[in-house]
Amino acid sequence: MMGLLPAFAVLPAAVQPTAARADNPIVRHVYTADPAPLVYHGRVYLYTGHDEDGSAYFTMKD
């Protein structure tokens, strides 16, 4: 019973919601959408769609 007390003491800290802050650390120079990661032989390949910067519609020049 005494072993469970420390576990229950930290439980509120583990489940309390916190603010999530995220940005796009992998690709910063184009807008990417719908990422699809693929792990192959220990490497991660990331396939994404892209839109041109400053576009208000689906603009992909290539």
Residue 38 domain-assigned? yes
Residue 6 domain-assigned? no
Determine the structural domain holding residue 30 and report its residue range: 18-62
pTM beyond cutoff 0.95: no
Residue 44 domain-assigned? yes
Split into its structural domains, the chain has a count of 1
pLDDT in tens, 6-60: 655 665 655 666 776 666 567 777 677 778 899 999 999 988 877 666 767 777 7
CA 4 to chain CA centroid, Å, is 33
- Tell me which H or E stretch contains 55: none
